[in-house]
Amino acid sequence: MELSQAIELIRSNDFNKDTIETWADLGCGSGLFTNALLSYLHPKSTVYAVDQYPVKINHPAVILKQMDFITADWDFPKLDGILMANSLHFVEDKPSFLRKVKAALKPNGTLLLVEYDTDTPNHWVPFPASFSSLKRILLEAGFKNVHRLQEQPSIYGKANLYASWIN
């Protein structure tokens, strides 16, 4: 996926470029979606890029954190937002994990997800969650609003990628 496609996939009118915010990108991988997120944030915002094997992201707003985001204790300040792009499908116990996410967010904080719209696991997506399945789990975890943003075909399979804005 190209950066321009990632930027378009997470596009939302709910971003506020006028406010300095603190976000975390859990499972940042190569930093593609970290960079997409940065295009929507105030230039003085901070993004914690978290991965077991983080790649150096050359941006002054990015703080790299090497950890397993699923099992580690997070030492972030309360967050305005958490981005999880193609990483929630590695979490087996989604209800417990999403309660942890909710607790890490400020009261009006946002969870921005990118996932495959399937419930069928495979080697690369061991614990998938389609939008409809995930919406139910998110509401049970205490989130109030779950909005589907954009979607686009995946080059890896039959299921589309979708983005969702949750608070």
Quick one: which of 111, 109, 96 has its CA closest to 26? 111
Global pTM reads 0.95
Q: Across the beta sheet with 46-51, what order do the strands follow?
A: 62-66, 46-51, 22-26, 79-85, 105-116, 161-166, 146-152
Distance CA(105)–CA(79), nearest Å, equals 5
Distance CA(62)–CA(30), nearest Å, equals 13
In order along its 167 residues, the chain shows pLDDT tens digits of 899 999 999 999 999 999 999 999 999 999 999 999 999 999 999 999 999 998 888 899 999 999 999 999 999 999 999 999 999 999 999 999 999 999 999 999 999 999 999 999 988 899 999 999 999 999 999 999 999 999 998 877 678 999 999 99
Distance CA(167)–CA(145), nearest Å, equals 5
